Structure 1
Amino acid sequence: MLQKTPTGTWLPAWVPDSTVTLSVLLILCSTVQSCTGGYDGSMLNGLNILPSYTDYFQLNAATTGLNTASVFIGSCLGPLVSGIMADRLGRRPAMFWGCIFTIIGVILQTAAQNIAMFVVARIILGFGTAISGIAAGVYLSETFSSRYRAWGVGLLNDFYYIGALLAAGITLGTGQWQSTWAWRAPSLLQAVFSFLCIAILPFVPESPRWLAYVGMMEEARTVVAQTNANGIKDDPVVLAVYKEIIDTLKWEKEESRVMTPLQIAKDPVSRKRLLIGMSAGPFSCVAGNIIASYYLGAELSTAGITSTNAQLEANVVLNVWCLLCSLVGTHLISSWGRKPTAILTQVLLTICLFIIGGLSKVYADQGDSTSSSVVYGNVATIFLFQGFYSIAWTPLLYLYPPEVMNYSIRANGVAFSQLMLNSLALVLVFVMPIGIANIGWKMYMINASWDIPIIGLIYYYWVETRGKTLEEIDAIFEGHKHSDVPDVELIRTGKEKLDVPMVEHEIEREIVGMKSE
């Protein structure tokens, strides 16, 4: 059964009664965003290998970098408005408009007649995916039950590899075509994910935190009940989550915390939360995966695998491997924690980069006479590297920032994290092919060297957010949470009991007080 649920926006919602069904829809709605990004990276990987694409645009190292990196120009522009859009229009409408821009970009990219048109199309595409992706990350973190938030939001970026796998398979198939449709067809199919998102949006509710902030208290409680207890509004867990939300939002309003980018700079706690939360974006970007994500062909050539078909096949296998690793990583993050998983991954990535650099140097020195064990050892290490990256950084990229940031800075803070990520990616995606072409194996050594300090920064500054609601994480930064109800997980597991009549009375009194202010 579907229940019409007010959303406070022009975009209506008919929400299923079952929490399980709704959770599936929430995941599908948001994960199509990462499918678009994964598809784009893997598609460009494939296109950069295809002669029909490189010959059509007459690409060299610089224009290859420009064509590939131009999506990050749009991805840098999108965060400038995405946080404001998500706060003012609502989380779901922001996702909708992001999808519309993405579809326009895909159509123009498919029809591109020259490098200029291709670049402009990819800027629009990047702009749209940035808006919808940021809104999706904030939306899912605010809407999903805290019990399964690690899986719900972690899968948001894990599905990057679903899109990547589809693109790898499609470019492998169309790679045999003898026309420009060898690259135009994969480009056109990139719009499918945005259409899927638009189709699912009417069947998921608006964020309960956003509804409560705009004064739609009863509607916010309905959504909390839908996402936690099959719509039962007087369930103790629902009441605890709901009271934490209204207590925390009341405190933020009393402290004059407003939802603007300037709020981030107003107090030291907000600045600290921003710096810790946004670090996931830049840290994941500079880890070293840019090479294999967009220039796998060049990386494999450096390792000694030069056949076009072999490189396309490796692209498919790599994405299957990374998908499996990201799912394992999401489990570790959920059961072990965000911080230890990130540290483990970063240590393994640094080791792998030094090994790849060393083996690539051997191949560069010995050329075709290099032992096959060196070649295959290098390829194996490349695969291990991408798998290790996927364990932590793939799920954490959208999970950690919205957890660390409180409501008033969440949307703009996540946007800032993505802005930093995409700004770095813009530079690295453009520079990497030039660096590999000019200094080869040394590029890996340089990358490994700057990864070492990141391990220390994570160990010293990151905080653990596992097992806490978004409001309970406030206690880590503020010294205490801003609600007097027991922690939700203690209530869920039966370790604490909630006085339901008393909490109902307190909620009613607080809502009346907030409306009179």
Structure 2
Amino acid sequence: MLSRSATGTWLPAYVPRSTTTVGVLLVLCSVVQSTTGGYDGSMLNGLNILPSYTDYFHLNAATTGLNTGSIFIGGFFGPLVSGVVTDKLGRRPAIFWGCVITIVGIILQAAAQNIAMFVVARIILGFGSAITGIASGVYLSETFPSRYRAWGVGLLNDFYYVGALIAAGITLGTGQWQSTWAWRAPSLFQAIFSIMCIIVLPFVPESPRWLVHEGYYEEARIAVAQTNANGDLSNPLVLTIYKEILDTLEWEKKDGRTMSPKEIIKTPSARKRLLIGSSAGPFSCIAGNIIASYYLGSELNTAGVTDSNDQLKANVVLNVWCLGCALTGTHLISKWGRKPTALLSQALLILCLFIIGGLSKMYADDPDNASKSLVYGDVAVMFLFQGFYSIAWTPLLNLYPPEVMNYSIRANGVAFSWFMLNALATVLVFVMPIGLENIGYKMYFINGSWDIVTFALIAVFWVETKGKSLEEIDAIFEGEKHSTVPDIEAVRTGEATVDIAALEQEIVLEKSSVQIKAE
């Protein structure tokens, strides 16, 4: 059963009554960024192995890096506007327009006649994907119930490997074709995920926090009820969540917080939130996964696996393994916490990088006499590395930044995190093939050293957000929670109770006060 819900935007919503169904649809509409991104990385992995692709564009190390990394140029510019767009238009419309731009880039990529056209297409694709990814992370974190937020938002990036697995299978199949369709067909199929997202968007509600901020109070309460209690507006949990949102956003307005991009650096609290929240993007980027995410062929060459068909098969197996690790990591983040899981993952990454570097050096010193056990051992540790990366960084990349940032800086702060990630990735994706070609195994030692610094920064500066609503996280940074209602989890588990009649009266008085001030 569907009910039409006002959204405060041009994009209507026909929302199912079942909260479980709404939750499933929320995930489906928001995984488009990670699925498209995962598909893209795995597809380029496959294409960079295919002679039909490399010969068509006459690629060398520099142009391979340009073709591959140009998506991050679009990803570099996308965050410059995505925060403002997400705040102005609404979370769902921003996702919609990001999908449209992504589809345009994909069509141009599949039709590319030369390197210039391919690069321009991937810049457009990256621009659209950045808008979709930022809006999706903000939207899902603000809309999912707090007890499911780790899974709901974590899956947003876990689906990276679903897209990667699909692309690995498709490129393995089309790799045998003796025409440019060997790479054009996989390129074109990439659009299916954005199309699916556009189809699902009309069946999910708008972010209740965006609705409250824009003055759509009843619509926001309905959205909270739809995502928490099968549409029951009088449910104690719904009233508690709604009142907490009202109180917190009203406090931000009274404190002079605005939606300006300058707000992210305006106060000491905002700067601290920004530095901690936006660190997830760069930390995940320099962890070392770019080598295997885009240049698996080159990485396997350093280990002695040179047959292109074997490399394509390895690409498929790798993505199955990483998907399993990402889901395991999401469970750990939900049960154990964000910071402990990140530290565990980072420690394992450091260990793997130095082992890979050592084994690759042994192979490089005497490739003709290298034993099979050496080759297989190197490949095995490469696979372990990608799995360990997936445990923490895959789910945390979209989960942690919007949790740490309060409403007034959330969209622009997440955009800044993506900006930093893509700026760094633009450089690293271009540099990695050149580095692997010129210094080989030493790249692993360099990357391992970076990761040691990252481990220390996480241990000292990161905060734990597990088990808290977005408004309750304020207490970590502001020193207090800006609402008088009990914590959401305490109400849900029965540890705390609320007076429904009194809460209803407080809500009426608060809305009246806000409306009078607005007039």
TM bracket, shorter-chain basis: over 0.9
1 CA distance for matches of 2:129 and 2:399? 17
Instruction: Give a deviation string over 1:205-227, Cα, whole Å, max 9, x none.
Output: 11000000000001000000000
Partner residue, 1:423: 423
Partner residue, 2:239: 239
Give the CA RMSD over aligned residues. 0.4
2 CA distance for matches of 1:220 and 1:368? 67
Note the C-alpha offset of 1:368: 2.4
Structure 2 residue 62 is matched with structure 1 residue 62:
yes
- Aligned residue for 2:191, secondary structure, equals helix
1 CA distance for matches of 2:265 and 2:451? 28
Partner residue, 1:383: 383
Instruction: Give a deviation string over 1:335-384, Cα, whole Å, max 9, x none.
Output: 00000000000000001000000000000001121011110000000000
Partner residue, 1:512: 512
2 CA distance for matches of 1:42 and 1:265? 36
Where in structure 2 are the equivalents of 1:132-211 lying within 5 Å? 132-211=132-211
1 CA distance for matches of 2:408 and 2:255? 11
Count of residue correspondences: 517
2 CA distance for matches of 1:39 and 1:259? 34
Partner residue, 1:451: 451
1 CA distance for matches of 2:132 and 2:154? 16
Q: What percent of counterpart residues are identical?
A: 74
Partner residue, 1:88: 88
Structure 2 residue 250 is matched with structure 1 residue 250:
yes
Moved over 6 A (4+): none
2 CA distance for matches of 1:4 and 1:450? 51
Partner residue, 2:475: 475
- Aligned residue for 1:10, secondary structure, equals coil
Instruction: Give a deviation string over 1:19-65, Cα, whole Å, max 9, x none.
Output: 00000000000012210000000000000000000000000000000
Note the C-alpha offset of 1:413: 0.3
Note the C-alpha offset of 1:4: 0.2
Partner residue, 2:113: 113
Structure 2 residue 308 is matched with structure 1 residue 308:
yes
Mean alpha-carbon deviation: is it higher for 165-174 or for 230-239? 230-239
Partner residue, 2:131: 131
Unaligned segments of structure 1, at least 5 residues: none
Structure 2 residue 290 is matched with structure 1 residue 290:
yes
User: 1:408 corresponds to which letter in structure 2?
Assistant: S
- Aligned residue for 1:56, secondary structure, equals coil
User: 2:367 corresponds to which letter in structure 1?
Assistant: G
1 CA distance for matches of 2:90 and 2:492? 29
Note the C-alpha offset of 1:181: 0.1
- Aligned residue for 1:233, secondary structure, equals coil
2 CA distance for matches of 1:23 and 1:449? 41
2 CA distance for matches of 1:266 and 1:280? 21
- Aligned residue for 1:4, secondary structure, equals strand
User: 1:43 corresponds to which letter in structure 2?
Assistant: M
Where in structure 2 are the equivalents of 1:29-68 lying within 5 Å? 29-68=29-68
1 CA distance for matches of 2:309 and 2:303? 16
Partner residue, 2:221: 221
Note the C-alpha offset of 1:73: 0.2
- Aligned residue for 2:221, secondary structure, equals helix
Note the C-alpha offset of 1:242: 0.4
Instruction: Give a deviation string over 1:165-223, Cα, whole Å, max 9, x none.
Output: 00000000000000000000000000000000000000001100000000000100000
1 CA distance for matches of 2:156 and 2:465? 18
Partner residue, 1:267: 267
User: 2:197 corresponds to which letter in structure 1?
Assistant: C
User: 1:170 corresponds to which letter in structure 2?
Assistant: I
User: 1:274 corresponds to which letter in structure 2?
Assistant: L
Partner residue, 2:432: 432
2 CA distance for matches of 1:120 and 1:441? 32
Partner residue, 1:466: 466
1 CA distance for matches of 2:169 and 2:260? 43
Partner residue, 2:363: 363
1 CA distance for matches of 2:143 and 2:59? 45
The TM-score normalised by the length of structure 1 is 1.00
Where in structure 2 are the equivalents of 1:399-418 lying within 5 Å? 399-418=399-418
Unaligned segments of structure 2, at least 5 residues: none
User: 2:152 corresponds to which letter in structure 1?
Assistant: G
The TM-score normalised by the length of structure 2 is 0.99
